Chain A
Amino acid sequence: MIFLQLFYTFTKIGIFNFGGGYAMLSLIQDEVVNKHHWLTVKEFTDIVAISQSTPGPIGINAATYTGYTAVLNEGYPVWAAVLGAVLASLSVIWLPFILMISISKILMKHHKSNTVQSIFGTLRPAIVGLLAAAAIMLMSKENFGDPSDSPFVFILSIFIFLFSFVGSRLYKVHPIIMILLCGLAGLLIY
């Protein structure tokens, strides 16, 4: 049952999300692309780009889009797909919310304690690894083109990748501007 699967999967994504934003991408990708095949690698990458250019947290954006697409691909009508989108989005929120209400007072008192500090001492570096994994998993033929099939696309993709990396890391160009520039380059060249 697709609705139950969406609920369960996005509840899991919500509760195991520490550090927010991009940090959860590898988790979403693992569940949505690798395990359930609700989205292709290409679609997933496109959603990250769309998320950067629309309001709201990336986790909600991914949940909404995946919920809609997954239900539609199962052959349900559009209204059911809209329902799936809303369900997936709320699934991300509900459990952390209950947890927050029940433990926030305790955490407020103890967030400087040694135990909490030592847990985050290893959790934070691990989350950097999660983020790196998300980037590595997206360095695929689907996103960069196949070097033997279409060497031109592959070389140009590498060039766009380096250009974007330098632009955002060294020159702090806003992600939306970067995405628009690269999209325009794609339109003009391909």
Chain B
Amino acid sequence: MGLCTDLFLTFAKIGGFTLGGGYAMVPVMEKEIVEKKHWLKKEEFMDILVVAQSTPGLFAIDMASHIGYKLKGVLGGIIGALAVALPSIVSILLIAIFFQSFKDNVYVEKFFMGVRPCVVALILAPCFKMAKTAKITLRNCWIPIVCALLISAFGVSPIWCILAAGIGGFLYGKLSS
């Protein structure tokens, strides 16, 4: 089996078997790429992880294209990115086709009436964990509060918050050094 085929199958497997996506993929990827296939050393994998976190784009896709690129150049990158996205696209397409004809079904609606408040809680819960990783203290806690207020109460696009925070951090770093 060529490296390209192997890359495709490995990333399709990673994409297809991690429910929820994103960070849930990290341990699975590490096991496949570092321990099983020996494509990367543990340190190389960790370096890519840090860079994927600080580049724009979906985390899982960034990881896959980085690793593919490192192994087989641009083609490898494309294969990695597409392979990890493919199971997701196919499964949601099937659900979308199915859901369009069933979403007005009484039982489906009842099910989702129960699910919706749960989803809101599931989004809110990781905020506190993320606040810890983002090193939020009394001194900088105004940043998330102002962002959340601007977006939810004043309808400001999150894009402006990201730009302002990035540029603000850059200037703050320049001025304080």
Q: Name B117's contact: one of A20, A68, A160, A168 (CB within 8 Å).
A: A160
For the complex, count residues of B whose C-beta is within 8 A of A. Answer: 96
Are B124's CB and A135's CB within 8 A? yes
Name the CB-closest residue of B to A157.
B117
A41 to B165, CA, bound (A): 27
The answer to whether the Cβ of B159 comes within 8 Å of any Cβ in the partner chain is yes
For the complex, count residues of A whose C-beta is within 8 A of B. Answer: 111
Chain A interface residues toward B at CB < 8 A = 12, 14-23, 25-27, 30, 34, 42-43, 45-46, 48-61, 64-65, 68-69, 72, 78, 82, 85-86, 89, 92-93, 95-97, 99-101, 103-104, 107-108, 111, 114-139, 142-145, 153, 157-158, 160-165, 168-169, 175-176, 178-179, 181-187, 189-190
- Cβ of A107: which chain B residues have Cβ within 8 Å of it? 51, 54-55
The answer to whether the Cβ of B3 comes within 8 Å of any Cβ in the partner chain is no
Are B22's CB and A58's CB within 8 A? yes
B128 smallest CB distance to A (angstroms): 7
The answer to whether the Cβ of B2 comes within 8 Å of any Cβ in the partner chain is no
- Cβ of B124: which chain A residues have Cβ within 8 Å of it? 132, 135, 165
Asked, given contacts A115-B170, A128-B127, whether A55 binds B21 with beta carbons under 8 Å apart, the answer is yes
The answer to whether the Cβ of B27 comes within 8 Å of any Cβ in the partner chain is no
A141 smallest CB distance to B (angstroms): 11
Chief secondary structure at chain A's binding surface:
helix
Name the CB-closest residue of A to B157.
A30
Are B136's CB and A125's CB within 8 A? yes
A189 to B87, CA, bound (A): 34
The answer to whether the Cβ of B1 comes within 8 Å of any Cβ in the partner chain is no
- Cβ of B151: which chain A residues have Cβ within 8 Å of it? 26, 30, 129-130, 133, 137
A48 to B144, CA, bound (A): 22
Are B93's CB and A130's CB within 8 A? no
A92 to B120, CA, bound (A): 24
Chain B interface residues toward A at CB < 8 A = 15-23, 47, 50-51, 53-62, 65-66, 69, 74, 77-78, 81, 84-85, 87-89, 91-93, 95-97, 99-100, 103, 107, 110-128, 130-131, 133-136, 140-141, 143-148, 151-152, 155, 157-159, 161-162, 164-166, 168-170, 172-174, 176-177
A171 to B145, CA, bound (A): 26
Are A64's CB and B96's CB within 8 A? yes
Are B96's CB and A65's CB within 8 A? yes
Asked, given contacts A86-B89, A119-B169, A129-B146, whether A55 binds B130 with beta carbons under 8 Å apart, the answer is no
Name the CB-closest residue of A to B77.
A101
Are A60's CB and B88's CB within 8 A? yes
B26 smallest CB distance to A (angstroms): 11
Asked, given contacts A118-B169, A157-B116, A186-B110, whether A175 binds B20 with beta carbons under 8 Å apart, the answer is yes
Q: Name B114's contact: one of A15, A52, A127, A183 (CB within 8 Å).
A: A183
Are B114's CB and A160's CB within 8 A? yes
